[in-house]
Structure 1
Amino acid sequence: MTFRLLCFTLLLTLTLPLQASGKKDGSHIQPDNLYPRVKIETTMGNIVVELDRARAPITTNNFLRYVDKRSYEGTQFHRVIPDFVIQGGGVDKDFRELSKFPNIFNESGNGMKNSLYTIAMARQNDPHSGNRQFYFNMADNPSLDPGRNWGYAVFGMVMEGTEVLDAMALVDTHYHARIGWADVPKEPIFINKVTVLPPQ
């Protein structure tokens, strides 16, 4: 009996971390909902985004795990370019880069286009360097779609708050000499809270 109990305890000890690690990609958040909705509360108003787990499961789950960890709260939209993009989610009020999960596979070939009011994953030159930063398309941006080269993965659509994004796109920006970035809002735009909404 003691031997069986020992084996069971050992099995439990080995499987629990595996189960926990299997949930680190965000897939445990509303797992049966292919189109989870997220509310992003900013200093300029609220935005509701419907994510597309059917066509961009890796990117959607990655975004949701940052939401689940409340990791977007207190970040700022540090790049605003009218008729192009509004980008954020990666730096705090002092422009310090925040901790990240591992980079994810680029799902830009999922059929979704970088069209007006879509949300997409920001990245560096490496096509698979997407991580925590995201952007809203403020125009139809076919130059960001895949072609002969990798594009930028779209993973959702703004359902409410387009007027908030329109207002953001009009804020005054400047070259921030200390950090060496252009298109930085003179008056910071912060994300106060991000929550996953109940399934519809």
Structure 2
Amino acid sequence: MLRALFISIFLISAPVLAKQKDDGSQIQADNFYPRVKIVTSMGDVTLELDRSRAPIAVNNFLRYVDKRSYEDTIFHRVVADFIVQGGGYDVDFAEKPSFPDIINESGNGLKNEMYTVAMARQKDPHSSNRQFFFNMNDNVSLDPGRDWGYTVFGYVVEGTEVLDAISQVETDYDTTWGWADVPVEPVIIKRVSVLPPV
């Protein structure tokens, strides 16, 4: 009897004692299409993420959102009719801390079409971590083919006019960092928040 009681208590308390995941998968865990709002210095953009096709990228993105790690970062690379990229640097161009790189999911069927959001990466296909970009054109060259592409993980549902305006800001070559396409006037990501399920 005592043994049965102990087992019952253990089974009830085990989930409570288990450490909750902190990888983004715990955020609206049952929602395959969570929405987030990005508040920028030029207006607001709302995204619908596609966890059904890009679960790793979506959970990774939500983890940074949950940690408020995108606040006060900038769009550091803006190329008209191509991309608007950010999420990795603050206004002083200091690199923000990152979680480990994630696996490339570019073969998920989602294309780098206008107003989609995708993970930025280095030459290594599995080097995405915190930076993301908006496609400001149908960028077929970024889709997978013989080589890995760039993982699309959502699309813009509100605020396309804000992205259009950002994509047209004046840019220049930054001699300090040796980067091209840097906005002359910083475009700041003030806040990113997860919206209630629709």
TM-score, normalised to structure 2, is: 0.92
| 1:109 matched to 2:107 | yes
Could you list the runs of 4 or more consecutive aligned residues of structure 1 that deviate by over 6 angstroms after TM superposition?
Answer: none
Q: State the Cα distance separating 1:65 from its structure 2 match.
A: 0.3
1:155 aligns with 2:153: yes
Per the alignment, residue 41 of structure 2 pairs with 43
CA shift digits 1:39-61 (9 cap, x unpaired)? 00000000000000000000000
| 1:57 corresponds to | 55
1:180 aligns with 2:178: yes
Distance 1:37 1:165 in 2: 17
Q: Which residue of 1 aligns with 2:19?
A: 19
Residue 25 of structure 1: how far off its partner (Å)? 1.4
The number of residues matched between the two structures is: 191
CA distance in 2, matches of 1:102, 1:169: 29
Q: Residue 98 of structure 2 corresponds to which residue in structure 1?
A: 100
Which residues of structure 1 form unaligned runs of 5+?
Answer: none
Q: Residue 101 of structure 2 aligns to which amino acid in structure 1?
A: N
- Provide the C-alpha distance between the structure 2 equivalents of 1:89 and 1:185, rounded to a whole number of angstroms: 14
Per the alignment, in what secondary structure is the counterpart of residue 76 of structure 1?
strand
Q: CA deviation at 1:19?
A: 2.1
Q: Which residue type is aligned with residue 53 of structure 1?
A: R
Write the letter of the residue equivalent to 2:27.
I
Counterpart residue identity of residue 132, structure 2: F
SS of equivalent to 2:145: coil
Where in structure 2 are there 5+ consecutive unaligned residues? none
Amino acid at match of 2:97: S
1:24 CA displacement: 2.1
TM-score, with structure 1 as normaliser: 0.91
Question: What is the aligned partner in structure 2 of residue 168 from structure 1?
Answer: 166
Distance, in Å, in 2 between the alignment partners of 1:122 and 1:154 is: 10
Distance in 2 (CA, whole Å) between partners of 1:162 and 1:115 is: 13
Q: Output the CA distance in 1 between the equivalents of 2:23 and 2:120.
A: 18
The residue identity in structure 1 corresponding to 2:93 is F
- Structural RMSD (CA): 1.9
Spell out, residue by residue over 1:67-90, the C-alpha distance to the aligned partner (whole angstroms, 9 max, x if none).
000000000000000010000000
Q: Which amino acid in structure 2 is aligned with residue 97 of structure 1?
A: E
Q: Give the aligned partner of residue 76 of structure 2.
A: 78
